[in-house]
Amino acid sequence: MLDIQRISKTFNPGTVNEKKAITDLSLHLNKGEFVTVIGSNGAGKSTLFNAIAGSFYVDAGAITVGGHNMTFLPEYKRAKRIGRLFQDPLKGTAPNMTIEENLALAAGNGGWFSRLTQKDRTRFRDRLALLDMGLEDWLNQPVGLLSGGQRQALTLLMATMNPPWLLLLDEHTAALDPGTAEKVLELTKRIVAEGNITCLMVTHNMQQALELGTRTLMMADGRIVLDVSGADRAGMTVEDLIHRFKAGTGKTLSNDRMLLS
């Protein structure tokens, strides 16, 4: 479902601020794989997501999603097939539009809100009820009134309304309080499993990285330095992970947000 062949990305090339953020990185994900990604600050996790989502074009290599070469496809076209959630719950929804209007946009209604049918509304209500946050009775409320957790849950629903070929979760629960984060994570697991959605999730929480999904990647200096799955991963502890990282890179894994988890 995702095939990345030897991509590289350097920011500000030829200047004093030159930064090689991704170096010769390859990755293959099968349909339905749920993969967690961890790494130190500046390891290139967000840059990898930006490259896949099309926030910029890579300098070298190729990115194929769902069998389609997306390497030079603009971001807005990739967004039809690639869902993405950010740490900031305010991204991904339009605050001045109602919940119903946001869902209509996500459903591919093209903004023809006046053409929303009762069937559409029932579908939206059913999906919102899944969240167990009472939002199904709030269809005509502006999204700007929702709490961060409600908004992130809504964004998740929108990103998976039409099941994406690939879902990118960039620390999407990190800015939520622990209880809400747990709830959004449970929802994530459910929606991803039900839709058999291929998913890459960046997390700073190493325990979570080992517990969720079926495979864990560790990044350092713009490369994937560890890729564990199956029996190798099943018995792994956080200490093993830290040890393997150090053995593979000669460096200590450090991420400021890890300290908080």
Ligand X SMILES: Nc1ncnc2c1ncn2[C@@H]1O[C@H](COP(=O)(O)OP(=O)(O)OP(=O)(O)O)[C@@H](O)[C@H]1O
Q: Which lies closer to ligand X via its Cβ, residue 39 or residue 149?
A: 39
Least Å from the CB of residue 220 to ligand X: 9
Least Å from the CB of residue 49 to ligand X: 8
Coil, helix or strand at residue 200: strand
Q: Which lies closer to ligand X via its Cβ, residue 101 or residue 171?
A: 171
Q: Which lies closer to ligand X via its Cβ, residue 89 or residue 100?
A: 89
Angstrom distances, CA of residue 255 to CA of 38, 111, 224, 250, 261: 9, 41, 16, 16, 10
Q: Which lies closer to ligand X via its Cβ, residue 11 or residue 113?
A: 11
Q: Which lies closer to ligand X via its Cβ, residue 10 or residue 109?
A: 10
> Which string of DSSP letters, residue by residue, matches 206-237?
HHHHHHSSSEEEEEETTEEEEEEEHHHHHT--
Least Å from the CB of residue 200 to ligand X: 13
Least Å from the CB of residue 243 to ligand X: 20
* Residue 119 region by backbone torsions, left for phi larger than 0, else alpha for psi between -120 and 50, else beta: alpha
Binding site residues, ligand X, CB under 6 A = 11-12, 19, 21, 39, 41-47, 255
In degrees and rounded to multiples of 5, residue 145 shows phi and psi of -85, -10
Burial of 146 (0-12, 13-18, 19+ CB in 10 A): buried
Q: Which lies closer to ligand X via its Cβ, residue 30 or residue 41?
A: 41
Question: Would you tell me the crossing angle of helices 118-130 and 148-159 to the nearest 10 degrees?
Answer: 120
Least Å from the CB of residue 182 to ligand X: 21
Residues whose CB falls within 8 Å of the CB of residue 206, separated by 6 or more in sequence, listed in order = 38, 238, 241, 242, 258, 261
Least Å from the CB of residue 236 to ligand X: 21
